[in-house]
Amino acid sequence: MPTSTQTTESGPAGHSEPENGQKSGPANGPKPKAVVRPGDRIFSAATLIAGILILLILAGVALFLLAQSKDTIQAQISDPSSITGGNGFLPYVWPLVVGTLISAAIALVVATPFALGIALFTTHMAPRKLAPVLGYVIDLLAAIPSVVYGLWGIALAGNLTSFYLWLSKWFGWIPIFAPAEDGSVSQTGRTLLTASLVLSIMILPIITSLTREIFLQTPRLQEEAALALGATRWEMIRMAVLPFGKSGIVSATMLGLGRALGETMAVAMILSPGLLTASLVVSGNQTIASEIAQNFPEAAGLRLSELITVGLVLFVITLLVNMGARAIVAKTSVKGS
Amino acid sequence: MLTSSNNTITKSRKLTSKQLPKATPWIVAVASILVAILISFIAFGGFNIPVVAVLAGLINLVAVFVLSASYEGRRKATDRVATTLVTSTFILACVPLVSLLWLTISKGGAAISGDLLSRTMLGMKGVLDQQYVAGEASLAGGFYHAIVGTVLITLAACIISIPIGVLTAIYLVEYAQKNRLGKAITFLVDVMTGIPSIVAGLFAFALFSTLANVLMPGSAGIAKTGFTAAVALSVLMIPIVVRNTEEILRLVPMDLREASYALGVPKWKTIVKIVLPTSVSGILSGVTIAIARVIGETAPIMVTAGFAKALNWNLFSGWMSTLPTFIYDSQLRPVSPGSAALASSERAWAAALVLVALVMLLNLLARIIAKVLAPKAGR
């Protein structure tokens, strides 16, 4: 925002917030006061209230979730065996957290190289005229509702069983591709790996659009300098584009991670849940969001409170990841300008 | 042919290094696909699409590298391989999109009918589905109630979140002037965008069941209504509206505001009469995109509005169904389990087709609004 407006705007804004006005008033306040009309006061108050409402909503999310998880905390203290699983809250939530992190990690590992590739393609390689259209195609992926991804994933899962069988045959010595004890893999293909692959497609557009923005900001002169020195296009990308966008790429992936952690429906529909296992090609494992989605409709009493507490755990995890990502963005934008 | 052209333009070769003809990557790509198909027939005894695709990709990469390295040199070869890899990421990413759209259109298109759109699941029995699978009757049931639920809940969410979102954006752009509250709101809006949708649903449920418990102890069950779902969707929608509106408001030229102030127009009138009309196209298209985003949400609806089988026009009492929750419910909890679950699945795909069409239409509408309502630039 150009600072020139500050002088014009400071009159009404100062009056809408007496605290602010008093602080800054003596320093730079000109003597002839601007006329404050009732319309101005009402309007600025309305916008202020709307802003404060957002603060309240976010505080409310944390507070009401905490209030509803009161029962779980009490049960944990007085009688841990009453919680699902019979061992208290931590042993119950731990496998869910691990399952969530694993699925999000796989989704991220698969999606990031693709997202970078697509972002590079649309910004630096595709024909200029075609680039926006191609970007729109990828944005379509983001527009499709998650429940449709779930349906598609279920239809797809059956086709993946032969691939999983092949994986377990040749790469079974790696724990994550190990078959079950009798040498079989999931019959339906509805495993954590399938869910994670669908997740990776769902987070692809977010990471792509963020990295695309960053790649577009690469200083044109640096790119042209690299090309003028005789670099091939790929060398130019490696020398000018990627180093410039490094921290942006990191934060884009973290925002994608936040999305993958909280994504519910694809996992809830595709995964046939079970105990925590290391292998990704047999059925088993569960994520926080899908545990809530699958059990909430029938839950009541303590179980309801448990699921809300689990939701609180998810909220805290995604909050941390997103804040981390934003912190990185904030740092880079300062450097960039 | 290559050598002859080298001889004829020896002079210009000093400025440009040796280069493969422009069509080379395409020829190599087609050739490697053909080779891959051949290998697939010899080694696997048939045409196997995934095998052919993987093989063709690998052969293409190797061929491009070898061809280019032997003629253009190593650096050019690396460049070509990188270009091929980057291009193939894009093509690969299109595969799920095409597959998903194709499946939705073919499966949903086969099942959809006017009856499905105008009936509800009230009085639905497993027998009806078994008859349908046996070919004795047409597909029963429908999702009129889900369409009504989707429209009502989304409308209610809009009524809550558009004023809050737009006013907050106005506060941030016109009044906050980067003060501490403005920074805090910007930060929290960023955080809010990252709230998992199911947590937003849990919040709305926790809010209303706590309220219900306080007002009428022991009646937490009445917390599940369409309105609760609308509140949950608002939590997801507000940050999108704020961000989109803020972005657009910041684009309004300062000169316009200053000209208005210079004429003695009060600030609020400047905003209402100058700033908002200038940016109305952007705001509306941003809101439409936000609607398209939340209309497909499932998780927050299922924890706040439950799954209704019948038509419910009342947002404030009783369960409601929306298209996403209808899809989820039909697919995972079919009316008649076993072989007749197919009928439920078909209803789910038909609903998915309607939902995808709705979302695509909204996205298209957003683009049209942005184009049609954009202020006519006098430049």
pLDDT value, residue B290: 92
The CA-based diameter of chain B, rounded to the nearest angstrom, is 95
A117 vs B359: CB contact, 8 Å cut-off? no
Chain B residue nearest residue A36, CA to CA: B266
Residues of A in contact with B261 (CB under 8 A): 8
Q: Is the pLDDT of residue B166 over 70?
A: yes
**How far off is chain A from B197, nearest CA to CA, in Å?**
7
Band (B175; pLDDT cuts 50, 70, 90): confident
Of A141, A234, A264, the CB nearest to B97: A141
Which CA distances in Å does B225 have to A32, A60, A289, B40? Answer: 55, 19, 21, 56
- Residues B269-327: tens digit of each pLDDT: 999 999 998 898 889 999 999 999 899 888 899 888 888 888 888 888 888 889 999 99
Q: Dihedral of the CA atoms B257, B260, B262, B264 (nearest 10)?
A: -130
Structure-block tokens of residue B219: 């009646």
Give the per-residue pLDDT at B233: 94
Q: Distance between CA B331 and CA B344 in Å, rounded?
A: 6
Q: Which residue of A has its CA nearest to B363?
A: A143
User: For A112-132, how does the pLDDT look when each residue is reduced to its tens digit (9 = 90+)?
Assistant: 999 999 999 998 888 888 888
Check residue B377 and give its pLDDT. 59
- List CB contacts of B302: < 8 A, sequence separation 6 or more: A293, A296, A297, B201, B325, B328
B363/A143 touch (CB, cutoff 8 Å), yes or no: yes
Of A126, A308, A97, A325, nearest in space to A212 by CA: A126
Does B200 score more than 80 pLDDT?
A: yes
In the numeric block, which tokens belong to residue A63?
Answer: 């507070």
Q: Please state the pTM of the whole predicted model.
A: 0.84
Q: Which two tokens stand for residue A80?
A: 């841990």
Measured between beta carbons, the chain B residues lying within 8 angstroms of A311 are 198-199, 202
- pLDDT averaged over every residue in chain B: 85
Report in angstroms the alpha-carbon separations of B361 from A143, A144, B367, B368.
Answer: 11, 12, 10, 10
Collect the ranges in chain A with pLDDT lower than 70.
1-35, 181-183, 332-337
**Chain B interface, mutation test: which of A61, A147, A167, A204, most B Cβ atoms within 10 Å?**
A147
Interface contact flag, A20 B179, Cβ < 8 Å: yes
Position B7 pLDDT exceeds 70: no
> In angstroms, rounded to a whole number, what is the distance separating the alpha carbons of residues A41 and B221?
42
Beta-carbon separation of A2 and B254 below 8 A: yes
**Contacts for A281 with CB less than 8 Å, ≥ 6 apart:** A164, A167, A168, A176, A177, A178, A179, A185, A186, A191, A193
Cα distances from A98 to residues A92, A192, A276, A324, in angstroms, run 11, 12, 8, 20
The angle subtended at Cα A204 by Cα B82 and Cα A129, nearest 5°, is 60
Do you know the residue count of chain A? 337
A156-173 pLDDT per residue, tens: 887 888 788 778 778 777
The 10s digit of each residue's pLDDT in A74-117 is 888 887 777 777 777 888 888 889 888 988 999 999 999 999 99
Within a 10 A sphere around the Cβ of A243, how many other Cβ atoms? Answer: 12
DSSP H helical ranges for chain A:
4-16, 18-28, 38-68, 70-78, 89-120, 131-143, 146-171, 192-216, 220-228, 233-236, 242-262, 265-270, 288-295, 302-336
What confidence score (pLDDT) does residue A24 get? 43
Please report, to the nearest 10 degrees, the dihedral formed by the alpha carbons of residues A47, A49, A54, A56 taken in order: 170
- Locate tokens 């991220």: which residue? A108
Q: What percent of chain B has pLDDT over 90?
A: 27
In angstroms, the CA A46 to CA A52 distance is: 10
Residues of A in contact with B250 (CB under 8 A): 1
Q: In the prediction, which pLDDT does A15 show?
A: 42
The stretch B70-96 carries a mean pLDDT of 88
Given pLDDT bands bounded at 50, 70 and 90, which one contains residue B334? confident
Query: What residue in A sits closest to B295 (Cα-Cα)?
Result: A145
Contacts of A322 in chain B (CB under 8 A): 190-191, 193-194
Q: Cβ of A143 and B182 within 8 Å?
A: no
- CA triple B65-B68-B71, angle to 5 deg: 145
Q: How far apart are CA B260 and CA B271, in angstroms?
A: 10
- Average confidence (pLDDT) over B43-56: 77
pLDDT, position A128: 82
